[in-house]
């Protein structure tokens, strides 16, 4: 009888192009035909194959010139009535608005001109004349955002909407800013980076028709970038700008986080930007001399997204090159030390823009706040209520901390909100407790677990103004850690009553048991999102530097912290690939900061022809 034996081994797929981190991650910039007149600070509207650039500054003067692009070349059309620069735009190549700006001799403009595809007509002025503002929308429903007055020079947070007849002031931005890119509609707009100063990390904001909400900060702070987006605030790229040197960096925003993708071929700032995530256009811009460059960004309509663990040929198996989607070598590296050593505080923000909030040591009282710029820490305004063992979440410019304990151990229900400058008390949590964990933003968050002094499983949700008790944790723990958002969070480790590796996951409605960590511990800290998180430090009972990553279903041990410690703090708003750890007990109170980077990458493994 013939015996058939199974084929043993791993099937390797053949794909036609490299995997990408996202659709934008598979995109590239390519040169196209230049503008007829090089300009910066011009208004820009349209698509990659039908764009309009109006006004701006050339090497010699403010310009009234207007050009349209057909996907191949630029054509001069009718001039504006008033030459001006640093303007906002809204609309399309056949129906556009050119809004406010700066006109000779260095006077703020409040004029608005409307384009019908043939000529420009002056219409109703904005309420507040200003330069360096952003605009979006269409000729019958537009929005003009931010900017700067000229004399005296002052940044503004003003947003005005246009209904086709009049301009009306609506909810202001949370941050004063100028030189900002804006896209979207009057009921769903996105405002990206802009001053207060070149290179400042200022969180993007989204608009719902009445108010603005701060979003996740991008990786490289900048002002004067350009933007292209598919939909108001969930799929866009931002490119160029000054931090303060002119840069070519392009970042993709997916509605939650930012990822660097292909750079522009030519670094520039104050350029026109139009199009979509998959088909964008950049034209004109600075540095001196003013440039006439045009570049097109094209992302594949269909693409193979990164799936960590994939092995494949690309694209010809006969080449013998096998590729693997994996992680680069991750490691902790030293950052700038805190000014005050402490433990049992919390953190917010990212690796390059973090807050260290509260904490306790013999030298401090539990109110200190420090701000990190990626290099060094600076003491800023303290909390109003002395406490330690608090929860925290948010960004460097918009954070909340709540709960905690005072000396000699009274539980605290106070919540305070940080606006980038100072702390203000907001609505208290319903259950005073310490050692709780927070996840989310100032607009939508949860806090869970803690000590009352008995262990509790309570979860409370925050809607931007009040706290509501929701479903309890499945595991009653103390000294746990966690990370995530208001609708997708993780609670890990703690004492129950001995140290545990148990994990709970939150889906926005209920908690369920998840895969346990590899190492049972308490007094650790967590950072990231539910599908890409990190837990580091803690006690075994000895202090440890063990770091574990979570991909939504499994835990993997990674490189340890250089300084083993319990009760550290970290930023809460970054992905696990850009984590930061500061403070803690090791066993004395520590000021040490460490930074972690774990890039996703493609690796060429082997040649089968070798």
Burial class (CB in 10 A: 0-12, 13-18, 19+), 110: middle
| pLDDT tens-digit readout, 188-221 | 999 998 876 655 556 789 999 999 988 877 888 7
Tokens of 320: 């013998």
Checking if the pLDDT of 2 tops 60, the result is no
Residues 263-287, mean pLDDT to the nearest whole number: 95
Q: Write the CB contacts of 34 (distance below 8 Å, at least 6 apart in sequence).
A: 74, 292, 293, 294
Classify 340-587 by CATH class.
Answer: mainly beta
Q: Do 24-298 and 340-587 agree at the fold level?
A: yes
In Å, what is the CA distance from 360 to each residue of 296, 340, 343, 539, 585? 53, 10, 6, 18, 10
Reduced to 3 states (helix: H, G, I; strand: E, B; else coil), residue 252 is strand
Closest to 133 in 3D by CA, of 124, 123, 141, 142: 142
Least confident interval from 8-22, 51-65, 336-350, 464-478: 8-22
- Calculate the average pLDDT of the chain: 89
Least confident of 12-16, 221-225, 242-246, 502-506: 12-16
Distance CA 404, CA 5 (A): 64
In degrees and rounded to multiples of 5, residue 319 shows phi and psi of: -70, -20
pTM over cut 0.85: no
pLDDT of residue 174: 87
Band the pLDDT of 610: cuts 50, 70, 90. Answer: very low
Contacts of residue 566, defined as CB under 8 A and 6 or more positions apart, other chains included, come to 343, 522, 523, 524, 537, 538, 539, 543, 544, 584, 585, 586
Identify the pLDDT of residue 506: 96
For CA atoms 162, 167, 170, 174, give the dihedral sign.
positive
Least confident of 209-218, 275-284, 511-520, 567-576: 567-576
Kindly state which CATH superfamily the domain 24-298 is placed in. Answer: Kelch-type beta propeller (2.120.10.80)
pLDDT at 566: 96
User: What is the model's pLDDT at position 180?
Assistant: 92
Q: Which two tokens stand for residue 231?
A: 């939909």
Q: Which residue has the higher pLDDT, 374 or 493?
A: 493
Q: Determine the average pLDDT of the residues in 372-399.
A: 93
State the average pLDDT over residues 133-157. 92
Lowest mean pLDDT among 7-21, 29-43, 60-74, 207-221: 7-21
Q: What is the pLDDT of residue 599?
A: 60
Mean pLDDT of 514-532: 93
Q: Which residue has the higher pLDDT, 610 or 296?
A: 296
Residue of higher predicted confidence among 608 and 377: 377
Residues 28 and 200: their CA atoms lie apart, in Å, by 27
Q: Taking a C-beta distance cutoff of 8 angstroms, is the pair 241, 247 a contact?
A: yes
Q: Are 361 and 378 in contact (CB under 8 A)?
A: no
What number of helices (H) and strands (E) belong to the chain?
A: 0, 54
Query: 161-180, pLDDT tens digit by residue?
Result: 999 999 999 999 988 889 99
Q: Binning pLDDT at 50, 70 and 90, where does residue 257 land?
A: confident
Do you know the residue count of the chain? Answer: 610
Pair 368, 413: CB distance under 8 Å: no
- The radius of gyration of the chain from alpha carbons, rounded to an integer in Å, stands at 26
How far apart are the C-alpha atoms of 350 and 534, rounded to whole Å? 13
Structure-model confidence comparison of residues 269 and 13, the more confident one = 269
Give pLDDT, residue 245. Answer: 86
Which residue would you say has higher pLDDT here, 64 or 318? 64
Least confident range of 4-18, 323-337, 570-584 = 4-18
Grouping H, G, I as helix, E, B as strand and the rest as coil, residue 319 is: helix
Which pLDDT value is given to residue 302? 82
- Per-residue DSSP letters for 201-239? ----EEE-SS-EEE----SS--BS-EEEEEETTTEEEEE
pLDDT at 153: 82
Domain ranges of the chain: 24-298, 306-328+602-607, 340-587
- CB of 190 within 8 A of CB of 146? no
| Phi, psi (deg, nearest 5) at residue 460 | -125, 140
């Amino acid at each position: 009888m013939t015996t058939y034996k199974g084929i043993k081994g791993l099937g390797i797929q053949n794909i036609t192009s490299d995997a990408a981190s996202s659709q934008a991650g598979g995109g590239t910039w390519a040169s196209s035909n230049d503008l007829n007149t090089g300009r910066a600070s011009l208004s820009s509207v349209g698509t990659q194959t039908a764009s309009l650039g109006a006004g701006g500054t050339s090497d010699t003067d403010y310009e009234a010139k207007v050009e349209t692009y057909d996907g191949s070349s630029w054509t001069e059309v009718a001039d504006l009535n008033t030459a001006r620069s640093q303007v906002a735009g809204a609309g399309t190549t056949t129906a556009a608005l050119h809004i406010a700006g700066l006109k000779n001799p260095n006077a703020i403009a409040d004029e608005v001109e409307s384009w019908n595809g043939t000529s420009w007509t002056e219409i109703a002025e904005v309420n507040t004349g200003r330069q360096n503002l952003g605009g979006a929308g269409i000729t019958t429903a537009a929005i003009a955002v931010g900017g700067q007055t000229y004399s005296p020079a002052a940044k503004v947070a003003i947003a005005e909407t246009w209904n086709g007849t009049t301009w009306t002031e609506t909810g202001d931005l949370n941050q004063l800013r100028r030189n900002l890119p804006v896209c979207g509609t009057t009921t769903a707009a996105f405002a990206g980076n802009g001053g207060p100063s070149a290179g400042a990390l200022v969180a993007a904001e989204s608009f719902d028709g009445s108010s603005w909400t701060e979003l996740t900060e991008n990786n490289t702070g900048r002002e004067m970038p350009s933007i292209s987006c598919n939909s108001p605030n969930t799929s866009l790229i931002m490119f160029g700008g000054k931090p303060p040197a002119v840069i070519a960096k392009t970042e993709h925003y997916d509605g939650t986080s930012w990822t660097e993708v292909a750079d522009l071929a030519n670094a520039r700032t104050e350029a026109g930007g139009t199009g979509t995530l998959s088909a964008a256009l950049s034209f004109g811009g600075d540095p001196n001399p003013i440039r006439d460059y045009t570049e097109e960004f094209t992302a594949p309509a269909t693409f193979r997204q990164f799936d960590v663990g994939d092995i494949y040929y690309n694209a010809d198996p006969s080449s013998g090159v096998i590729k693997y989607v994996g992680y680069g070598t991750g490691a902790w590296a030293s950052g700038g030390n805190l000014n005050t050593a402490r433990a049992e505080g919390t953190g917010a923000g990212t690796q390059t823009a973090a807050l260290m909030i509260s904490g306790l040591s013999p030298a401090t009282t539990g109110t200190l706040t420090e701000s990190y710029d990626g290099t060094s820490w600076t003491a800023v305004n303290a909390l109003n209520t002395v406490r330690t063992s608090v929860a925290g979440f948010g960004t460097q410019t918009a954070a909340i901390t709540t709960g905690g304990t005072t000396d000699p151990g009274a539980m605290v229900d106070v919540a305070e909100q940080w606006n980038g400058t100072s702390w203000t008390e907001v609505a208290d949590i319903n259950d005073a407790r310490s050692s709780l964990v927070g996840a989310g933003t100032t607009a939508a968050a949860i806090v869970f677990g803690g000590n009352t002094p008995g262990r509790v499983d309570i979860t409370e949700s925050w809607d931007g103004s009040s706290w509501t008790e929701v479903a309890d944790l499945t595991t009653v723990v103390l000294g746990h850690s966690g990370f995530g958002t208001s609708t997708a969070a993780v609670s890990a480790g703690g004492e129950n009553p001995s140290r545990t590796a148990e994990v709970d996951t939150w889906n926005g409605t209920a908690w369920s048991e998840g895969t346990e960590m590899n190492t049972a511990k308490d007094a650790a800290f967590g950072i990231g999102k539910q599908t890409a998180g990190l837990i580091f430090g803690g006690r075994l009972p000895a202090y440890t530097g063990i770091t574990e990553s979570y991909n939504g279903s499994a835990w993997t041990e990674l490189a340890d912290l250089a300084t083993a410690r319990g009760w550290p703090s970290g930023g809460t708003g970054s992905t696990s690939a850009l984590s930061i750890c500061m403070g803690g007990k090791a066993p004395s109170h520590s000021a040490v900061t460490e930074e972690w980077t774990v890039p996703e990458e493609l690796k060429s493994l082997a040649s089968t022809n070798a």
